[in-house]
Structure 1
C-alpha cells in the first residue's frame, strides 16, 4: 500500500469522571458477556479446575478449624487449668496448619498452569484473528494500539487469573463457613460482627461504580500512548527532517497526561478499599471485645465463654478479610475485564473470509484482468467512478495521475484488499468476488515503493515468496534479481541476519531482495508500486533490469510517478479524481497532446 494512504488514528471515547456512574449499567452488561467468554477459555482446563476447587475447599475448611481449636483449647484446658490432652491438641493444630499450607501451595501451582494455558490460547486466537482481518481494518487503526491488546491487555488477564480466581472462590467459601460457625457458637456475637456489613456494602458500591469505567478508560489511554509511540518511533526520520520534535513531545505529553489522570483516579479510588476495610475491621474487634466482655461478666460465661470471644476475634478478621479480598479482587477483575473487552472487540470484527463460503479455488490463471464500469468508495467517499479497462496475459498496464487519483485503490481492488461496490472485475472471465482471496493472492506478487524485510537471514527473506523453495532456487532468484553479487560480499552471505525491516543494507539492496522474493514466487500477476523511487542511478539500472526479467510473460500493473519508467507499457491509464481521462500506449498518449502529454513534458524539462 502506498505511503499516501495514511492510517486514521483510532478515536477513543473519553469518559468524564463526573459521568462514570452513568455508564456503569452499560459496563455491567459488557462484563457479563466478557466473563462468559473468559469462562469458555477456562473451561478447557476442567480437570485442573476441579482440583483447584477441591484444594480451595480444604484450605478454607482448615483455615476455620485452626482458630476453633485454639478457642476450644482456652476453654477446655487453659481456663480449667487441665493439662491432660493439651499436647495432642497442639500436635493436631500443627498438622492442621501444615496441611493448610500444602493445600494453598497446590491450588496456586495448578491455578498458575490453568492461567498460563488460558492466556496462551487467548493470545494465539487474537494473533490468528489479526491475520484474518481485512487490510481496511488496519488502515483505520494505530498499530501500537493493536499491539497493546496483544501484550498489555492480555497480561492484565493473566495477572488477574493468577491472583483473583482462587482468591474470590476462597473468600466466598471462607465467608460462608465463618458465618455458619459463628452462628453455631454465638448468634449474638454474630450479629455484632455483621453489623459493619451495611457500611462496607455502601462503601464498596460507591467505589466499584467508579473504578470499572476508569479501568476501561485507563486501558484505552494506554493503547493510545502505545499507538502514538509506535507511530513516532517509526517516523523518527520525518520528525527530525521537519524539526517537529517539540510538537511530537507535546503530543506525547498530552496522551501521557491523560493516562496519568485516569490511572491516578482509578488507583486512588480503588485505594480507599483497604483503608475502609481496616477501619471497619478495628471497629468489629472493638465491638466483639466490648459486647463479649459484658456478656461474660453479666452471664458468667453461660452465653459466651472466653474461648468463644477469642474465636470470634479471629473469625471477625476472617469475616472481614474475605470481604476485603473480594473487594480488592473485584477491582482487579474489572481491570482484566476492561482488557478482555478490548481483546474480544478485535475477535468480533468481521473477518476477511466471511464472504467466501462458496468462493472457488483457482489453481491456475492466465492473468486476464478486466474492469467493467467499476465504482468504489471508502465509506461515504467516492474514489473510483466507472473504471473500465482490460489487461491481457503478459501485458503491462501502468497507472499515472496525481496523488489521490485512485491508482493504489485499483491495485487494492485487484488484490481484493477491498471489494468494489458496483460494476464487475473478472480474472480469466471469473468474477473476482467469487475467488478465494488466498487463492487469488497465490498468483500475485508485490514489489512496493517501501520494501519490507523481516528480521532473519537474507535466505529466509527471499524464501518468503515460496517456503518450499530449495537453497539453489533461492540463489537463482537472487541472481536474476541482480542481488547475488552484493549478497555474497556480506559477512555471512545468504545467512547474514538482517535487523528489523532490513536495516544494515541500502534501500536499493532491500528492493533487489524483494524482487528476488517475487521472482521466487513465480506469480502470474505482478504489482509494482514505484519500485525504483529514491534509488541511485546505478542501482536503479540494476532494478530496472531485474524488473524486466520479472515482468516477462506476466500480467503486470505498475503505479508510476516517473513517466520515463513506463514508456514501454502496453497500456497507460491516466486517472483524475477516480476517473479514466486518457488511455493508450505512450506514443498514442503523446500524440493526443492531452493531460499525459502535459505531465510528461513537465517531467522531462
Structure 2
C-alpha cells in the first residue's frame, strides 16, 4: 500500500477546480505558486489566557516535581532574602567598631549620649542611640565579623544549591511537557482528515509542529523557573522590608501599582504583534517550503524573480511584525528600571535621614537598599518575561488550534470484520460534496465485481479521484453507502478496510531509507528477501536496482538516492513494487503511468496486468489507450456517471467516451502533423 499522504497530490491533480473553490470559500490558503501572493488577513488573538491555562494544565502530570521545585525555590529564596539582613549585621559590626574606637572608654555609651545632648550635639547623640552594640574605646571585633561573614557565605552557597536544583527539576519538567505535546501533535496529525491538509499550506502545518512547539519549549524553559523565583523573591523581600522599616517599605511599594499600569499598557499593545509575528513566520515558512519543493517548476517557468519578490514581501511583513513586537516589549525593562531608580533615590535619602536620627542602623539601611534592588529586579524580570510569555502563549494558541481541529469520525465501537475477501465494491445512491453550496456527487450507483478492472475517465474536476477517496474513507459519504463484500465500509475500522487496498498514485512518495525499506513499506506482514526480489522483478524494478552501487540497500528519499540519479519513472516503478508486495484485494491506480516514458510504460503495463489478476482494480486514467482492456469503463462528468461499458461498446455508442477518445487521438495526430 502507498501512504495516505499521497492522496493529497492525487486529489489536487484530479479535482483541483472544485477543491480550489472549496478552499477559497472556507479559508484563504496562505502560500501560492511561484508568482502567487501570500497576503493574509490580520488575525486577532482568540484566547491567549485559555492557551496559557492549558499549558499550565499540562504540568499537572508532573505536579509532584513541580511542587518539589516550588519548595526548593521557596527555601532558596528565603536564604537569598535573609542574606542582605545578615550582611547588614556585619556592616553594623564594622561601623560600631569604627565609631567606638574614637570614643573615650572611660565613659559608657549612655554617658556619651547624655554628654552629647548636653552640649547640643543632638544628631550625634541620636546616631549613638541607634547603635546599641557600640562599646566606647573598642575597635572592630574581627572574630565576630568573621563569624558573621562566614554565616553569610554559607547562606548564599545553600541558596545557590537549592536554586540550581530547582532549575534542574524545572528543566526536566518542561522538557517532559514538550515531549508529550509533540506526541499529542503527532498523534493528532494521524487522526486529522484529509480535508484539513487540503485547506492548510504544508509550510503552515510544519511551522506549528516545529517552530511553535520549539518556541513554547523555550518560553517555558526561560520563564517558569525565573517566574517562580521572581514571585517568591518579591514576597520575601516585601516581608523583610516591612520588618526593617514599614515607612521605607511603603515608599518602595508605591512603585508596584505604577509598574503594573506601565506593563499592562505595553502588553496590551504588544500581544497582537506577537500573534502577527508567528502567523507571518508560518507564511514565510510555507512559501520557502513550496519554492524549495517546486524549484524545478519555478526555474522552468522563469519565476525565480517573482518567487524572490514574494519572499521579500512576506519577509518584510515578518520583519515589521517582529520589530514592533520586540520593540514594544523591549521598552518594559528600561521603563521599569527608571521607576525603580526613583524608588532607590527616595529610599537612600530617607534612610540616611533615619540613620542620622538614630531610628535605623547603618546596616539596616544598607540591607534595605539591597532589598530595594532585589525588590525591583524580580519585578523587572517579570516584566521583561512578558515578552517570552506572550510569544509562547501565541505559539501555544496556534498549536492548540491544531490539536482542537475536527478529527476523522471515530471507528465503530463494535466493528464488523471481513471474512475471506473477494473484492466486490458497490456504490449505492452515494452523495458527496466538498462544500454544501456546490454538490459534486449525487445518487451515484455502480458495482465492481471481484476481479474486474474498473477504469474511471472524465475531464479534470469530474470527481474521479473523489470516487477513490470515498472508497478509502479519506472522506465520508454524505448520503447512501459504499459496501465492501456486502459490508458497509463505515462499519469497518479504517485499518481493516485500508489493509485490503493497495494504491499507486501519479505523484511518487518515497521516504528516507533504503530501496528495500521503501518497497516493504506497504506490506503488513514480514517479507523475506526472496519475496521482495520477486515483487521487484515482476514490476521491472530489479534491473535498474542491480545497477546501483548498493543495490537494494541504496538509501534514497523523494529527491533521489545518495549521489545516484534515479529517474521519475524508476521512482514510480518503486511505488508499483510497493503495492505489488502488499498483495491487496483491491488495487487503485491513479494515473500511475503518467510520469514514465513509452518504454517504461510498456514494462509498467505488463506489471499492472500481472498485478490486476484476481484483484478488483480501479484505474484513473487520462490516456485512454491504457485502459482499452478494462472490464468496465465509467465516464464521469460533474460528479455523475454519464456512461459505462467496455471500450468497444462505448466507442460504438458515440457518446461522451467516444468524444474524449477522438479528441485525444485527434490532438495526437495534429501534433505529429
Q: Deviations over 1:322-357 (max 9, x none)?
A: 111111223311211111111111111222242533
CA–CA distance in 1 between the matches of 2:163 and 2:51? Answer: 28
Q: 1:478 aligns with which of 532, 536, 540?
A: 536
Do residues 595 (structure 1) and 656 (structure 2) align?
Answer: yes
CA–CA distance in 2 between the matches of 1:233 and 1:345? Answer: 27
With over 3 angstroms needed to count, the CA separation of the structure-2 counterparts of 1:364 and 1:125, relative to structure 1, is farther
Q: Does the CA-based 8 Å contact 2:634-2:641 persist in structure 1?
A: yes
Do residues 527 (structure 1) and 588 (structure 2) align?
Answer: yes
Deviation at 1:414, TM superposition (A): 0.8
Do residues 384 (structure 1) and 441 (structure 2) align?
Answer: yes
Deviation at 1:80, TM superposition (A): 4.1
With over 3 angstroms needed to count, the CA separation of the structure-2 counterparts of 1:14 and 1:270, relative to structure 1, is farther
Aligned residue for 2:67?
50
Q: Deviations over 1:490-532 (max 9, x none)?
A: 1011101113444531111111111111111110111001111
Do residues 418 (structure 1) and 475 (structure 2) align?
Answer: yes
Q: Deviations over 1:366-411 (max 9, x none)?
A: 1111112222110232111222211000001111111011111111
Q: Does the CA-based 8 Å contact 1:416-1:437 persist in structure 2?
A: yes
Q: Give the stretch that moved more between structures: 361-370 or 86-95.
A: 361-370
Q: Give the stretch that moved more between structures: 221-230 or 354-363.
A: 354-363
Q: 1:566 aligns with which of 627, 634, 643?
A: 627
Deviation at 1:465, TM superposition (A): 1.1
With over 3 angstroms needed to count, the CA separation of the structure-2 counterparts of 1:514 and 1:383, relative to structure 1, is same
Deviation at 1:14, TM superposition (A): 4.1
Q: Does the CA-based 8 Å contact 2:572-2:595 persist in structure 1?
A: no
- Structure 2 stretches lacking a partner, 5+ long: 1-6, 31-38, 99-139, 667-673
Q: Does the CA-based 8 Å contact 1:454-1:501 persist in structure 2?
A: no
Deviation at 1:272, TM superposition (A): 0.6
Number of residues paired by the alignment? 592
Q: Does the CA-based 8 Å contact 2:411-2:492 persist in structure 1?
A: no
Q: 1:142 aligns with which of 201, 204, 210?
A: 201
Do residues 308 (structure 1) and 364 (structure 2) align?
Answer: yes
- Structure 1 stretches lacking a partner, 5+ long: 17-22
Aligned residue for 1:375?
431
Aligned residue for 1:495?
553
CA–CA distance in 2 between the matches of 1:41 and 1:550? Answer: 50
Q: TM-score, normalised by structure 1?
A: 0.94
Do residues 351 (structure 1) and 407 (structure 2) align?
Answer: yes
Deviation at 1:59, TM superposition (A): 1.6
SS at match of 1:263: helix
Do residues 10 (structure 1) and 67 (structure 2) align?
Answer: no
Q: Does the CA-based 8 Å contact 1:455-1:501 persist in structure 2?
A: no
Q: Deviations over 1:566-594 (max 9, x none)?
A: 00001111111111111100011011011
The 5-angstrom pairing of residues 114-513 of structure 1 reads 114-297=173-356, 300-302=357-359, 304-354=360-410, 356-362=412-418, 364-380=420-436, 381-467=438-524, 468-502=526-560, 504-513=565-574
Aligned residue for 2:85?
68
Deviation at 1:541, TM superposition (A): 0.8
Deviation at 1:267, TM superposition (A): 0.3
Q: Deviations over 1:470-494 (max 9, x none)?
A: 2222111111112111111110111
SS at match of 1:528: strand
SS at match of 1:446: strand
Q: 1:38 aligns with which of 52, 55, 80?
A: 55
Q: Does the CA-based 8 Å contact 2:411-2:494 persist in structure 1?
A: no
Q: Does the CA-based 8 Å contact 1:455-1:502 persist in structure 2?
A: no
CA–CA distance in 2 between the matches of 1:360 and 1:88? Answer: 81
Q: Deviations over 1:162-219 (max 9, x none)?
A: 1111111111111111111111110111011122223211110101112222212211
Q: TM-score, normalised by structure 2?
A: 0.85
Q: Does the CA-based 8 Å contact 2:89-2:148 persist in structure 1?
A: no
**Rg comparison, structure with higher value:** 2
CA–CA distance in 2 between the matches of 1:364 and 1:179? Answer: 77
Q: 1:554 aligns with which of 592, 612, 615?
A: 615
- Could you say which structure has the greater relative contact order, defined with CA pairs below 8 angstroms and 6 or more residues apart? 2
Q: Does the CA-based 8 Å contact 1:363-1:439 persist in structure 2?
A: no
Deviation at 1:124, TM superposition (A): 1.4
SS at match of 1:418: coil
